[in-house]
Structure 1
Amino acid sequence: MARYLLHRLVVSVLVLIGISAVVFLLLHTVSASPGRIVLGQRASPQAVAAFNHDHGFDRSLIAQYLSYLGQLLHGDLGRSYTLNENVGTLLAQNSGRSAMLSAAGMLLALAVAVPLGILQAVRRNSIADRAATAASYVLYATPSFLLGLLLIAVFSQTLQIFPAEASQSHSPWVVFTDPRAMALPVITLACGSVTVFAQYQRSSALDQLGQDYIRVARAKGLPERLILLRHLLRNSSLPLITLVGTLVPTVLAGNLIVESLFNYPGLGLLFLNSLQREDYPLLLAYTLIGGFLTVAGSFLADILVAAADRRIELRK
């Protein structure tokens, strides 16, 4: 167990270093001069050159990256070009709200997808199964921004049930303290995952329904509800844990659209604003978060699957 964890940790660190190197070089290759971004277009060439020299931006990209990597090892993500604040501080101020939005969307998607997938498997090829599958394909093909606009048009503009704008509270618990204002953003984010989860759960449940232990349970006369809850649900949900881990970065990407559409102050909106301002320290930090979530999600999924299924042995 310890050897496996150490191996995964080393691989994860190497992957993150590789991601940071590629993104750093790409951003600084295509970007304008940092001095020009900070001082503005009206600044003189002499002032821009002096700024770049004072901050080490006139050095080679390799030297700049090694310096940046040294800062990362000390927990320093750099300083925002345009906001003139520490990047770590900005991320800490916005990460809680984005994390809660992502968690709420993921939990809602799982709450809908898991029973729906099992229901489709139990009633395979029925009208309900085919209708749910057709609806899933339509939902999967609908872009998040279009779905969000449709929800706003129906539930905000027409029915006037929910507000069109998300809560502007800076509390990370706003999803729970102001559910009415956060309903549309959470639903929009959840719809991006519920289709994948439901179809994956359906396929897994169909595979488990053909196993001998299900036939034995039915032969013993156990109630169908007990068979579904005690046997089918647990075993068919194990592959879904891995899928959830791999989709964590996808939810982070979905936050970009949802937070921008509903004007929700989180990491996604911060990233979009930094992209418009060419604030590359913020862009690089956000990319590193995505890489970290990718590695951490996969790693955590392996641990959870092994904990849920004793037949799996963690080894290198």
Structure 2
Amino acid sequence: MATLWYLVRRVAQAVLVIFLVTIVVFALLHALPGGPARGILGAQATAQQIATFNHEQGLDKPVVAQYFYYLRTLLHGDLGTSYTLNEPVSTLIVQRLPKTLVLTVLSAVLGLLLAIPLGMWQAVRRNKPFDYAITTLSFVAYATPVYFFGLILVLVFSQALRWFPSQAPQGDTLGQVLANPAGLVLPVVAGAASMVAVFSRYMRSATLENLAEDYVRTARAGGAGQRAILWRHVFRNSLTPVVAMLGYYIPVLFGGALVVEQLFNYPGMGLLFWSAAQSSDYPVLLGCVLVISVATVIGTLLADIAQRIIDPRVVAGKS
């Protein structure tokens, strides 16, 4: 019963946050200099053009009525129309979002597969040369901008060694992108670098905390070996804070994807957002912000549920 109540409460909180996100996005649209019409039509628009635009878009109605109309259109999947591409924003996002999800998921999986064993290994070899070396590399990787790290990857593995192409796979469909896995290697590695640096530190700290717990001393007293203690006992308990942080790291993944997609010309949402920013295509910009915000809320919710599955004591701590 406690678990069910916890899940209901978390879902209700997620719905409330998404509702607040729609308010923020709506406010951003109306915060454009000179209003939405001036921001979209440009500084050279005449008063008549602005009045006509406001009437066509319903912007001459009271703000509350505008918001509920905006909310109703969102519920019907209408995010507006791109002023540069002349296509529905929802169509553009549906085309680009799966590609960005593939890039971010692959980056996250690679990052975790490297960060988790590295963090545990550092904890076991605490204050030894290996621990100092990985810590130094982690700080360097975390401090290095994604764009600069991606350029290094291109110069070394594409220009010098010619192992991988410098441009990501192209195509309108996800199948066309996945048909060229070699082109995904450098973008995925660039997206995973900072994640390895961050999550290896979390895993190291969590492992050190668990190694000092009574159950570890009891297992050692019972004759359990180091490997058995690490993977049967410490590993699962150390994952709890890592899984919790994974949900909050989603905005960072999407932010990194924006840079990575622009650098490698990857046809995802990041490149769409970048192009829209260059042309002041506000409907596309706000649509991307809304989708990424909702994805962050959903990701945080899923991380909390996964944390609950890994450690049922989470319910008691958050009730």
* Whole-angstrom distance in 2 between the partners of 1:58 and 1:287: 25
Query: SS state of the match for residue 312, structure 1?
Result: helix
Q: How far is 1:181 from its partner?
A: 0.7
Counterpart of 1:112 in structure 2 is: 114
Number of residue equivalences: 316
Cα shift readout 1:162-204 (whole Å, capped 9, x = no counterpart): 1111010334356754221111100000012111100000000
Counterpart of 1:138 in structure 2 is: 140
Separation in structure 2 between the aligned mates of residue 258 and residue 46 of structure 1, nearest angstrom: 42
Whichever residue aligns with residue 196 of structure 1, its letter is: V
- The corresponding residue for 1:225 is 227
Matched-pair contact (CA < 8 Å) for 1:241–1:305? yes
The answer as to whether partners of 1:28 and 1:61 remain within 8 angstroms in 2 is: no
2:74 matched to 1:75?
A: no
Residue pairs, 1:247-266, within 5 angstroms: 247-266=249-268
* 1:3 CA drift (Å): 3.0
Q: Which segment drifts farther, 221-230 or 200-209?
A: 221-230
Q: What amino acid is aligned across from residue 21 of structure 1 in structure 2?
A: I
Rounded Cα–Cα distance in structure 1 between residues aligned with 2:36 and 2:86? 13
CA distance in 1, matches of 2:205, 2:131: 12
Q: Which residue of 2 aligns with 1:7?
A: 9
What secondary structure, in the 3-state scheme, does the structure 1 residue paired with 2:79 have? coil
CA distance in 2, matches of 1:175, 1:107: 18
In the TM superposition, residue 60 of structure 1 has moved relative to its aligned partner by 4.8
Question: Counterparts of 2:52 and 2:312 in 1: how far apart (Å)?
Answer: 62
TM-score w.r.t. the length of structure 1 is 0.91
CA-CA distance at 1:45 after TM superposition:
5.3
* 1:290 pairs with one of 292, 308, 312: 292
User: Can you give the 5+ residue segments of structure 2 that lack an aligned partner in the other structure?
Assistant: none
Is the 8 Å Cα contact of residues 33 and 39 (structure 2) preserved in structure 1? no
CA offset digits 1:204-244 (Å, max 9, x no partner): 00011111222222222223222221112111112110011
Residue of structure 2 equivalent to 1:311: 313
Contact 2:30/2:36 (<8 A) preserved = no
> Which residue of structure 2 lines up, in the alignment, with residue 196 of structure 1?
198
CA–CA distance in structure 2, aligned partners of residues 9 and 30 of structure 1: 32
Q: Which moved more, 1:59-68 or 1:118-127?
A: 59-68
1:165 corresponding residue in structure 2 = 167
Distance 1:70 1:219 in 2: 63
Determine if contact 1:97/1:174 at 8 Å carries over to the other structure. Answer: no
Q: Of 270, 275, 283, which aligns to 1:268?
A: 270
User: Identical aligned pairs, as a percentage?
Assistant: 45
TM-score scaled by structure 2?
Answer: 0.90
CA contact (8 A) 2:170 2:177 kept: no
Q: Which amino acid aligns with 2:194?
A: G
Structure 1 runs not aligned, ≥5 long: none
Task: Quote the Cα distance in structure 2 between the aligned partners of 1:224 and 1:211.
Answer: 14
Q: Measure the CA separation in 1 of the matches of 2:56 and 2:312.
A: 58
Q: Partners in 2 of 1:266 and 1:197 — Cα distance? A: 25
Query: CA deviation digits over 1:120-168, x for unaligned, max 9?
Result: 0000000000010011001110010111111111111111111111010
Query: What secondary structure does 1:30 align onto?
Result: coil
Partners of 1:156 and 1:101 in 2: how far apart? 19
Amino acid at match of 1:275: A
Aligned to 1:95: 97
- Output the CA distance in 1 between the equivalents of 2:287 and 2:152: 32
8 A contact 1:97–1:266 mirrored in 2: yes
Q: Is the 8 A contact 2:168 2:184 kept in 1?
A: yes
* Contact persistence 1:20–1:284 (CA under 8 A): no
Change (3 A) 1:304 1:95: same
Aligned to 1:313, what secondary structure does the other structure show? helix
Answer with 101-110 or 216-225: which moved more: 216-225
Find the counterpart in structure 2 of residue 56 from structure 1.
58
Q: Distance in 2 between matches of 1:110 and 1:236?
A: 13
Native 8 Å contact 1:104 1:175 kept in 2: no
Contact 1:156–1:162 under 8 Å retained in 2 = yes
CA change 1:179–1:306 in 2 (3 A) is same
Change beyond 3 A, Cα 1:51–1:185: same
